[in-house]
């Protein structure tokens, strides 16, 4: 039901009084009465406020006297709407007829409650994993003070929704005082994570069908205190028919080096050795072996195989092979390598 105000004009002899009746919820309205001036050919700029009587719930003026200058003409305007309502009402009244009486019903439209809702998805910056355990606090703008205030009471903390896997605010009322402006601050990180986050928001007054709620969705990332660990698996394959067991078990050395997600450099080395019955074969006749580097921080790594000649030199040095024999072996390996090229 639309709230109404009843305007009643009482006429008594040649003095008059305006009375306006309103429901209790509209008692904070404001009505101004303006007197006409024939000499000015218009209404006087300064009007008189009607007084509200809480007992009768009426707005009333003092008794008004019809004069030659005002010619019995007055204009009454609603110069302030009741809180939470909008609209404008005014009426010109001619009281020259002593037997005249007037009755008015004035309506105001309730101002719709425009609201805003904020949703935040919190993830690991490296893995994209959704994170719980954070805390987001909302602050409301004060237009008069030109500052954000911590005055949202039970609405200041966002809550985590396990179904949507997002942090969600309650409906935040958009007012003239806050201009739809809010600030969100991450006041607590998820356990074992680092990061700071703050963002200023502006909700708009929107009408979308039956809803008057503007929605904002944000994605916020946190950095773990330690870089997550992974593993690198290196596979080596050689033609099984090329293996000459009389020369020993073929061994291949590998290097993995690079930077983890935090920028730190790492280097890892390992090898595989083909021994009888220690490997698998595929349908193309390749012997297959693999080695896994565990506990490697996530990042970007380059994998490469060390040259065979370098490894043979190192192995012979470890076995204390005579210098002359090692030189012969090196020359022979160089000849093989040139032939292969």
How much is the average pLDDT of 161-182? 96
pLDDT band at 143 (very low <50, low <70, confident <90, very high): very high
Over the stretch 252-299, which tens digit does the pLDDT of each residue have?
A: 999 999 999 888 999 999 999 999 999 999 999 999 999 999 999 999
The answer to whether residues 214 and 204 touch, using CB atoms and an 8 Å cutoff, is yes
> What sign for the dihedral angle of Cα 272, 274, 275, 280?
positive
pLDDT over threshold 80, residue 209: no
User: What is 8-46 written as a DSSP string?
Assistant: EEEEETTEEEEEEEE-GGGTT-EEEEEEEETTTTEE-S-
Give the whole-number percent of the chain exceeding pLDDT 70.
Answer: 79
pLDDT band at 212 (very low <50, low <70, confident <90, very high): confident
User: What is 277-327 written as a DSSP string?
Assistant: TSSEE-TTSEEEEEEEEEEEESEEEEEEEPPHHHHHHHHHHHTT--HHHHH
Tell me which range, 66-70, 111-115, 129-133, 247-251, is most confidently predicted by mean pLDDT. 129-133
pLDDT band at 339 (very low <50, low <70, confident <90, very high): very low
The answer to whether residues 3 and 25 touch, using CB atoms and an 8 Å cutoff, is yes
Residues for the chain: how many in total? 341
* Residue partners of 138: CB distance under 8 A and separation at least 6: 118, 152, 155, 156, 157, 158, 169, 172, 182, 183, 184
Q: Which of 115, 122, 108, 98 has the alpha carbon at shortest distance from 29?
A: 108
Place of tokens 């008059």: 16
How much is the average pLDDT of 5-17? 41
How much is the average pLDDT of 153-182? 96
User: What is 89-138 written as a DSSP string?
Assistant: -EEEEE--STT--EEEEEE-EEPP--EEEEEEEEEETTT--B--S-EEEE
Lowest mean pLDDT among 57-66, 92-101, 205-214: 92-101
The total of other beta-carbon atoms located within 10 Å of residue 129's CB is 11
């Amino acid at each position: 039901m639309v709230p109404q105000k009843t305007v009643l004009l009482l006429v008594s002899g040649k003095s008059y009084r305006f009375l306006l009746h309103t429901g209790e919820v509209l008692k904070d309205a404001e009505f101004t009465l303006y007197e006409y001036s024939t000499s000015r050919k218009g209404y006087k700029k300064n009007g008189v406020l009607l007084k509200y009587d809480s007992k009768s719930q009426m707005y009333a003026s003092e008794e008004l006297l019809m004069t030659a200058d005002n010619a019995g003409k007055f204009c009454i305007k609603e110069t302030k709407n009741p809180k939470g309502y909008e609209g404008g009402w005014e009426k010109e009244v001619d009281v020259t007829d002593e037997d005249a009486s007037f009755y008015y019903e004035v309506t105001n439209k309730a101002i719709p409650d425009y609201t805003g809702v904020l949703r935040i998805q919190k993830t690991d910056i490296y893995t994209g994993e959704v994170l719980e355990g954070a805390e987001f606090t909302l602050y409301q703008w004060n237009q008069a003070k030109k500052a954000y205030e911590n005055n949202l009471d039970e609405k200041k903390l966002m809550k985590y929704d396990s179904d949507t896997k997002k942090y969600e605010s309650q409906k935040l009322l958009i007012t003239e005082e806050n201009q739809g402006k809010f600030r969100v601050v991450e006041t607590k990180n998820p356990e074992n994570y680092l990061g700071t986050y703050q963002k200023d928001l502006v909700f708009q007054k929107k009408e979308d069908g039956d809803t008057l709620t503007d929605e904002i969705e944000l994605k916020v990332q946190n950095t773990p205190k330690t870089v997550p660990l992974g593993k690198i698996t290196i596979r080596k394959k050689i033609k099984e028919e090329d293996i000459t067991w009389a020369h020993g078990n073929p061994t291949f050395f590998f290097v993995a080096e690079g930077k983890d997600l935090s920028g730190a450099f790492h280097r890892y080395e390992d090898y595989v050795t083909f021994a009888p019955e220690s490997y698998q074969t595929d349908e193309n006749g390749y012997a297959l072996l693999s080695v896994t580097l565990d506990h490697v921080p996530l990042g970007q790594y380059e994998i490469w195989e060390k040259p065979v000649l370098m490894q043979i030199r190192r192995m012979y040095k470890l076995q204390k092979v005579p210098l002359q024999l090692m030189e012969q072996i090196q020359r022979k390996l160089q000849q093989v390598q040139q032939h292969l090229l």
